[in-house]
Amino acid sequence: MDSIKHWINGSYVPAGARTAPVTNPATGKVTGQVSLATEDEGNAAVAAAAAAFPAWRDTSLARRTQVLFAFRELLNARKGELAAILTAEHGKVLDDALGEVSRGQEVVEFACGIPHLLKGSFTENASTNVDVHSVRQALGPVAIISPFNFPAMVPMWFFPIALAAGNTVVLKPSEKDPSAANWLAELWKEAGLPDGVFNVLHGDKVAVDTLLTHPDIKAVSFVGSTPIAKYVYETATAHGKRVQALGGAKNHMIVLPDADLDLAADAAVNAGFGSAGERCMAISALLAVGPVADELVGKIAERTNALRTGDGSRGCDMGPLVTAAHRDKVAGYIDAGEAAGATLVVDGRTVTPDAEGDGFFVGPTLFDNVDTDMSIYRDEIFGPVLSVVRVDSYEQALHLINSNPYGNGTAIFTNDGGAARRFENEVEVGMVGINVPVPVPMAYYSFGGWKNSLFGDTHAHGTEGVGFFTRGKVVTTRWLDPSHGGINLGFPQNA
């Protein structure tokens, strides 16, 4: 059985007394024990990052970029190893795991261009013989607290930019699937990153609270549920840190009467059941406008019934949920939806998975005739449950999306360019897809939602990420005039 330890100052540290089991969700078997940090271990990780910061901050942009490029090449050559770790601990199928790694790698590639992104500005002779220039500088040690559903991609939203900009990092991954973080730490060392610049601290609330309150941590990046995102934001900002805390979602997809229903059905299945619905960008509420619902539900059901659920290493379409407790929670929502009177078209509780042992499976589930007061509509289920809500008009569909407390992602399916453009303008959501069900932006754009899906005002990666992990400094200089200006207590004036 693996012992999954903290990575501090370039090496593993002995396992402490507090541990938690790590399970293969496809088989139900415990495969390892992960260390759960004490406050002292958390302080040690921060101390390593703080000690490494001055030298890394002062490392040239050319050298930092070389390390980024080396990491990119190693990751590209060995991403199959990382994907296998994701499948073994999270449960997502191998193709999906490879896609996760590739999307994270896009941010690494974006960060390789950091010299251009850190350029300041210069004004010559702003006042007589006075020049002014601006620079962007690193913050110091920063913390990344990442969720179980994307153990590789979400940390890679943040740490490539943080490191490229000259910061040092303490990564706190989910204790449910922690091994990907250690694999990434080893890869950074192989790429030439100095010891202490990238550290991995495993744990639970003790580790999180240590990072949120430690005076040497300058910024916190978080992805997780809305209640925890709010807690992270409030606690860390109260301790003087800048914070980007991405929360939960309830993503809606509108299908207008003129849409290509085969395309829409494919998209609903892909976005609703990919990664067993454990995505913050998953579609969980489908708003069928006007007369299309019967045909659309039939097409979705046909596709759903053809899906193969099982062990992600066996070429299945959909894998298990991450833990037994989460499986039971999702199954409870299916019970509640049925009891509330929604039409259960496809029942995932009856699935026979292609897997050995006692894995944590709920198959793809489809509800029709869902009302907005039902828990399966209101709550973020975070599982393979797709709810079809029948609405009479575009206006009614838009109202449901805009009145929802979440605003992470949304999509509309239509062949009407005017309707699509109107939706793009009127919808109150951070990421919008037009005939694209999961509109995750490229790395050079920002990722983030609105409303209760984001606490803080900065989204992940892109130029917003560069701004988050740096701070501005303006320098005013005078060299050419050797004369003494004399005493003048007035406010400086340009001349």
As annotated, the active-site residues are: 280
Give the CA dihedral 176, 181, 183, 188, nearest 10 degrees: 180
Farthest-apart Cα atoms in the chain, separation: 87
135 vs 196: CA distance, rounded Å: 25
3-state DSSP percent of the chain in helix, strand and coil, to 5:
40, 25, 35
Give the CA dihedral 102, 108, 109, 111, nearest 10 degrees: 160
CB-CB neighbours of 30 under 10 Å: 12
Contacts with 55 (C-beta within 8 Å, 6 or more apart), sequence order: 194
Name the residue among 376, 375, 302, 316 with its Cα closest to residue 345. 302
Is the distance from CB of 389 to CB of 288 less than 8 angstroms? Answer: yes
With vertex at residue 37, the alpha carbon angle to CA 52 and CA 160, rounded to the nearest 5 degrees, is 40
CB-CB neighbours of 349 under 10 Å: 15
Which residue in this structure is represented by tokens 């509309």?
412
CB-CB neighbours of 344 under 10 Å: 15
Which amino acid is located at 228 in the chain? I
169 vs 163: CA distance, rounded Å: 7
Contacts 24+ apart (CB under 8 A), 85-88: 85/151, 85/179, 85/180, 85/183, 86/151, 86/152, 86/177, 86/180, 87/312, 87/313, 87/319, 88/24, 88/31, 88/179, 88/313
Six-digit token string for 356: 């050995």
